[in-house]
Structure 1
Amino acid sequence: MAPEIRGELTTLDRYTADAVARHLVAAGELLDEDPEAALAHARAARARSGRIAAVREAVGIAAYYCGDWAQALAELRAARRMGSKSPLLPLIADCERGVGRPERAIELARGPEAEQLTGDDADELKIVVAGARSDLGQLEQALAVLSTPQLDPSRRGTTAARLFYAYAETLLALGRNQDALQWFLNAAAADLEGATDAEDRVTELS
């Protein structure tokens, strides 16, 4: 468990802190394979310590993985109000998309908090904003959001793969199938952990 989360738990008595820590660790470990179980652990932690930012953040992230956008949005906003230092804006913006408010997601990306994001966090927000533009039928604007210097096909890693994948999807929606195929290939090459189904999309389009 991260030292800063341990630090937040020092406000609790030792027995409660240990129980909350165990639930948070379990939630983190289960997130990918069983998000519903992760959410149950995160909620159990919240039942004991609802005033700790890391706990509310854990509930929000687990709810996000479960596709419960409204609950995720409420919990992530609460974590942010409580002083969470995590870059939660991309998740919050994506939840706004999830509850049917793509315009709100775009608006959040124009704020001062968005300007402070760098690296993968900034790219994650771009993916969300491009998705929001696509939701609104603004495919050319979506492509423009993704067409940045970071769109370097030699990059590797999950965020790069997701960025390339979003770019390929947008090209496909615009009817640019050959360009889309190339970017699905780039996404597959970047995706070292199998976070996307880019290889399947390459097969479909080939």
Structure 2
Amino acid sequence: MVAKHLVAAGELLGEDPERAYQHAVYARRKASRIGAVREAAGLAAYSVGKWQEALSELRAARRMNGRNVYLAVMADCERGLGRPERALEIAHGPEAEGLETAEQIELRIVAAGARRDMGDVRAALVELQVPELKERRARPWVARLFYAYADVLLELGRTEEAREYFSRAAAVDQEGETDADERLAALEGVEIVDIGEDVVWSDAEDPDFEDGPGDQAAGMTVPADMSEAPAGDEDSPRGAAPDETDAEVPSDREDESS
């Protein structure tokens, strides 16, 4: 029964975070001494903005299983609680040194967000200046890194460089992790129109666009794999989830009766 609720929580996390949270809370009530259950409860609480609860659950899970994979989420919870200094302590603590590359990048993104919370945009840019900015492979964390870097560049007024990294983010973001296409279009002063499998960028002021992309001399059709250029999400990491499930959340009374 607990496993079913954990599966339901995972599947609903992206589409209906509140129901996912209810499933995770039920599982925690029934099996609070299992690390995986506490992890699920922490992620579900995080998805609905319950920062302190999420932090407590993830800390408990780490004590149980010794896993540090959710340090970025924990650091982001500290940001949500208005404690960017503590977020930076987590991001630069000894526990972060043994993380995989993807997890380290997520921590960097959160650390950059903490720097911006503190009003130090230049330091946020330094947090993101890592060798992985030269990565060319299409991976979700690469897209988020490029996107975060572009966003900081834009805040610093370095528009041309921001345009380049938004373009790189769009090129490698095959899973729709960011809205890099829209941000890039806004910088270019165009609008994006979906036509079949292509994305058409057109001048929003051009009245002839309604005649179709084939008649549009000024428009540019950009394939899905936009270019060969290498490729970044907001400062806060979020998980995606598959389709919704029909699993119901029984009450404690129903569980006892069964």
For the aligned pair, the TM-score class normalised by the smaller chain equals 0.7 to 0.9
What does residue 136 of structure 1 align with? 118
**Residue of structure 2 equivalent to 1:173:** 155
What amino acid is aligned across from residue 169 of structure 1 in structure 2? D
1:191 matched to which residue of 2? 173
Picking from 119, 123, 127, the partner of 2:105 is 123
Q: SS of the residue aligned with 1:151? A: helix
Per the TM alignment, residue 110 of structure 1 is displaced from its structure 2 partner at its CA by 2.1
Distance apart, 1:112 and its partner CA: 1.1
Please identify runs of 4+ aligned residues in structure 1 that moved more than 6 A: none
Whole-angstrom distance in 2 between the partners of 1:182 and 1:85:
36
Going from structure 1 to structure 2, the CA distance change for 1:86 and 1:38 (only over 3 Å counts) comes to: farther
SS of the residue aligned with 2:49?
A: coil
Q: Does 1:49 align with 2:31?
A: yes
Shift of 1:43: 0.6
Alpha-carbon shift at residue 153 of structure 1 (Å):
4.9
Residue 103 of structure 1 aligns with an amino acid whose one-letter code is E
Alignment deviations for residues 10-34 of structure 1 (CA, whole Å, 9 cap, x no partner)? xxxxxxxxx0000001111111111
Q: Which deviates more from structure 2 when the two are superposed, residues 148-157 or residues 38-47? A: 148-157
Q: C-alpha separation between the residues in 2 aligned to 1:144 and 1:86?
A: 24
Letter in 1 for 2:33: R
User: In percent, how many aligned pairs have the same letter?
Assistant: 56
Higher Cα Rg, which structure: 2
Could you give the per-residue CA deviations for residues 32-63 of structure 1, whole angstroms, max 9, x where no partner exists?
A: 11111111111110110111111011011111
Structure with bigger helix share is 1
Change (3 A) 1:86 1:24: farther
Distance 2:135 2:150 in 1: 12
Query: RMSD of the TM alignment (CA)?
Result: 1.1
Aligned equivalent of 1:39 = 21
| Equivalent of residue 77 in structure 2, options 71, 80, 95 | 95
CA distance in 2, matches of 1:201, 1:84: 39
Q: Are 1:75 and 2:60 matched, yes or no?
A: no
Name the amino acid aligned to 1:115: E
The residue matched to 1:82 in structure 2 has which SS? Answer: helix
Greater relative CO (CA pairs within 8 A, separation 6+): 2
| Long gaps (5+) in structure 2 | 189-258
- Cα drift, residue 84 of structure 1: 4.5
**Maintained 8 Å contact 1:151/1:164:** yes
| Distance apart, 1:111 and its partner CA | 1.5
Please state how far the C-alpha of 1:86 moved relative to its aligned partner: 5.1
Q: Distance in 2 between matches of 1:116 and 1:52?
A: 24
Q: Greater CA deviation, 109-118 or 194-203?
A: 109-118
Shift of 1:118: 2.3
- C-alpha offsets along residues 135-185 of structure 1, whole Å, 9 cap, x if unaligned? 111111111111111112513121111111110110011011111111111
